[in-house]
Chain A
Amino acid sequence: MTMKIRNRRLSALAAATLVASLALTACGSDDDGGNESGSGDGGGNTTVTFLPKNLGNPYFDTSSAGGKEAVEEFGGTFDEVGPDTASPDAQVQFINTAAQQGVNALVVSANDPEAICDALNEARDAGTTVVTFDSDTNPECRDLFVNQASAEGIAKAQVDLIAEQIGDAGEIAVLSAAANATNQNAWIKLMEEELAANHPDIELVDTVYGDDDDQTSFDKTAALLQSHPNLKGIVSPTTVGIAAAARYLSTSEYKGKVALTGLGTPNQMREYVKDGTVTAFALWNPGDLGYLAAFAAKALVDGDISGEEGDTFEAGKLGEFTVDADGTVLLGDPFVFDKSNIDDFDF
């Protein structure tokens, strides 16, 4: 019994020493890095912190790389922080930390339009400029939103691509996501208007729904080709749909005869672009998106713009941008990926 008690006493002491040495070395070794970054008072040195939805996501790796390039161009300090999983409460802790550090600008892709609002406003009260990109919050919680693409731009880019690929005449069909997906339906409607106005020889014969499920989209593509033997092209404005359709086409007799385009990511589409199934498809360039967001943040911090409609600012290699209604800046037309540039991207 006494033995046990003595053990306990000694172990408490030694536990303290062991654990203390661990914690102190852990913090100590990082100290140098920490002192350089973080403080927002370095005159003229704009500190910009990127907070994507989560880390380890190739899409956001690309956007942060773009942001870093921009920050280095204008001579500021770049930092990227973020949670492992895309949850709003985890993001709040990083927003709080940015407020404590007093960074000049925080560039956020919001995991929830409402949940991180109060934290963002607290950071703004503490003097931090907040720019959202990719995924917006409620307008009253940020200074500016950098929008990747407008619905009109997305619709027009896809119609232009398919028209070019099928020689501006013939039957086409749309492979969408879910039948009630708001953004998909808005794009399809705008595509129909664009076709009617500028491409009278193209006929949209069918719209099918793959529910953003790989197998369903695959089966719907097969059915579409059987029921419309004269089909010349398919437009799939969803990344899941276009990849599934490409997978079907690449092993079928229709490969190279039926054109396919839409919205896809380079990593999913690379092999189909290289084997000739797909000539070109569209999406925005997340690198440019991050680049523009960083310059927008810089312009706000320097007081060049206030986020009012009609304000204009320079964004390095991307040129001049104008702030639209509700404090949004549009990146521009979707980016077209084809054989010549697809290897430059990894997301």
Chain B
Amino acid sequence: MSTATLDRPDDRAARAYPAYSRPLWRRVLLTREFAVIALLVAVYSYSYANVPNFDGPLTLYYLFLDIAPILLIALPMTLVIITGEIDLSVASVMGLSSALVGVLHADAGWSLLAAALAAIVVGAVCGAFNGFLVAYVGLPSLAVTIGTLALYRGIAQGLLGTKAITDFPDRWTDLAKERIFGDGSSYPMILIPFVVLLVLFAWLLHFSSFGRGVYEIGLNDEAAHFSGVDVERTKLLLFVLAGAVSAFAGIYFTLRFGSARGDNANGLELQVIAAVLLGGVSIFGGRGALHGVVAGVVLIGVISSAMRLEQQTVNKINIVIGALLVLSVISTTLLGWAQAFLSRRGRGATTSSGPSTNER
């Protein structure tokens, strides 16, 4: 008798985890992330078949070179947004690190490696400043990083004025554009640090207790605090990571174009955030996954590349990407309404067959 009574609650407890109540394939495939991946495949196949020259050998190579900074910064940005915060200063940190590499290398005569390391340290410090104000002083990240967006960009332009530093050693500028598997391959060298960082961030977010804390904070940071997550330290660390990765992206940007300017990467923060949101991360925090974000970034890249090949202007490309972003954000609400409407109708039809177990 005791075994029987024990079995039943166990059974019920298992059913109480709704996230695992569906078969694995449905849990993996029927997600927001997978919707983005499916869309990416659809747009890519469509472009491959219909857009002239999209199937050329240079398309993927340039695509990766173009989106590399966004791919890089999207990684820490995903974690920041999942905690319910935002970092608008990433592109300014890129500009600052670009200007700094230029000044330290050309004016102060440092080796490029030393200048790059210094820029990454400065980027981390910039991030730490953001993180300190957000996590420990408790200011809203939107306000803080709008401020530092202007501040870091101002310092960058103050360092260089309107001039550009362009005399970088060929060895380094070539490295930024090098292909991994020799001439003719479509994969530039910058994908190697990206993949390393991707593995690192995927582990951090999806397979570590730190990552579970990140989601907790996004869902409810007080509850996270009481369940033992160090909310302040987590946020600080994420902003530091965002700063350091942005600085690295700034160095790549500088070397790719062989030009250090204070206004480099102006406005890139919006592309990063757009890609992250398109990838299924909730702007309210607590939801999102890195494979969706990577697909979101590549999707934006493919759309831009295909539309440029179609001779469309930047404005039209922005309109499509903007509309896509708005749709992806409001789709949750729209579908909530649709769902409520459908379930009301469905409930009307099925009440006779017994109360639905799905009701709360």
Contact = CB atoms under 8 A, between A and B. Distances in A.
Determine chain A's interface SS by DSSP, over half rule.
helix
A112 B164 contact: yes
B177 interface: yes
Interface stretch (A34-42, A195-203, A253-261, A327-335): A34-42
A41 to B, nearest CB: 10
A1 interface: yes
A13 B259 CA distance: 44
A23 interface: yes
Given A6-B339, A15-B335, A117-B258, A100 B43 contact: no
A126 B53 CA distance: 13
Contacts of B315: 84
Interface in B136-186: 164, 166-167, 173, 177
Interface residues of A, number: 59
Given A14-B334, A117-B258, A19 B50 contact: no
A3 interface: yes
A15 B309 contact: no
A30 B324 CA distance: 17
A81 interface: yes
Given A22-B323, A27-B47, A11 B358 contact: no
A309 interface: no
Contacts of B258: 114-115, 117-118
Contacts of A126: 58
Contacts of B53: 38-39, 100-102
Interface string A138-153: 0000000000000000
B360 interface: yes
Contact of B358 (A6, A20, A39): A6
Contacts of A100: 53-54, 56, 58-59, 62, 309
Contacts of B266: 85, 87
B257 A23 contact: no
Interface stretch (A91-99, A160-168, A209-217, A312-320): A91-99
Contacts of B43: 20, 23-24, 27
28 contacts: A1-B18, A2-B18, A7-B332, A7-B336, A9-B30, A10-B335, A10-B339, A12-B31, A15-B331, A15-B335, A16-B35, A18-B331, A18-B334, A26-B320, A34-B311, A37-B311, A38-B310, A39-B53, A81-B313, A85-B266, A89-B253, A89-B257, A89-B264, A96-B66, A112-B166, A112-B257, A115-B166, A118-B173
Interface of B: 18-19, 26, 30-32, 34-36, 38-39, 42-43, 46-47, 50-54, 56, 58-59, 62, 65-66, 164, 166-167, 173, 177, 253, 257-259, 261, 263-266, 303-315, 320, 323-324, 327-328, 331-332, 334-336, 338-339, 343, 358, 360
